[in-house]
Structure 1
Amino acid sequence: MKDAISVEQSRAARGLLNWSRDDLAAASGVPKRTIADFELATTAPRSRTLQAIRTAFEAAGVEFIPENGGGAGVRLRRTSA
């Protein structure tokens, strides 16, 4: 499923962007408590919640790297010079 992102990807993406959970909540429209519960692996969010988080990260320039034997990951989108 395209919208599935892992806890590790969410944390890493926030780190790349230097975003707090408050920043992600503002960008995605997802409550901060829901983001915290997801990143602490205490709940499994609904598909639409994960999609909102992913969309916010992608709009900010994060690319999600699919599982390729070495694990899924994230990186910042390259900008053309």
Structure 2
Amino acid sequence: MSIEKLSKLRQTVSTRQIKAARALLGWSQADLARYSSVSEPTIARLEAEDGPLRGRPGTAAKILKALTDAGTEFMLENGSGPGVRLVRGRQRPE
């Protein structure tokens, strides 16, 4: 996913969607830290706040890239509410 798309996505993705994406992948905060190259304390701090994903744009982009590369897709508000799902056929890191 391009940096421009990740930047725009960051503005609309919530911390609840980040947690849901981790749950779908079976990832802990430590796993997300490893795959995104963002420290675990930073991920814990960002996830502790409810609402839109905050933090530095580069940090949020790394988190979103790791999750989308692993096979999750974020769905924006579309009348039914925001969500996240697994995309079939994507290779998830071990």
Q: Same fold (TM over 0.5)?
A: yes
How many residue pairs match? The answer is 80
| Cα root mean square deviation, aligned | 1.9
CA distance in 2: counterparts of 1:78 and 1:44, whole angstroms: 28
Q: Tell me whether 1:3 sits opposite 2:3 in the alignment.
A: no
Question: What is the percentage of aligned positions where both structures have the same residue?
Answer: 44
Following TM superposition, by how much is the alpha carbon of 1:48 offset from its aligned partner in structure 2, in angstroms? 1.3
Q: Which of 32, 35, 48 in structure 1 is aligned with 2:58? A: 48
Q: Tell me whether 1:18 sits opposite 2:21 in the alignment.
A: no
In the alignment, is the contact (CA less than 8 A) between 2:73 and 2:85 conserved in 1? yes
Stretch of structure 1 that moved more, 69-78 or 54-63:
69-78
Structure 2: which 5+ residue stretches go unaligned?
1-7
Stretch of structure 1 that moved more, 41-50 or 70-79:
41-50
The list of structure 1 runs, each at least 4 consecutive aligned residues, that deviate by more than 6 angstroms after superposition, is none
CA distance in 1: counterparts of 2:18 and 2:24, whole angstroms: 10
TM-score computed with the length of structure 1 as normaliser: 0.88
Structure 1: which 5+ residue stretches go unaligned?
none
CA distance in 1: counterparts of 2:29 and 2:9, whole angstroms: 22
CA distance in 2: counterparts of 1:44 and 1:65, whole angstroms: 18
Following TM superposition, by how much is the alpha carbon of 1:3 offset from its aligned partner in structure 2, in angstroms? 2.6
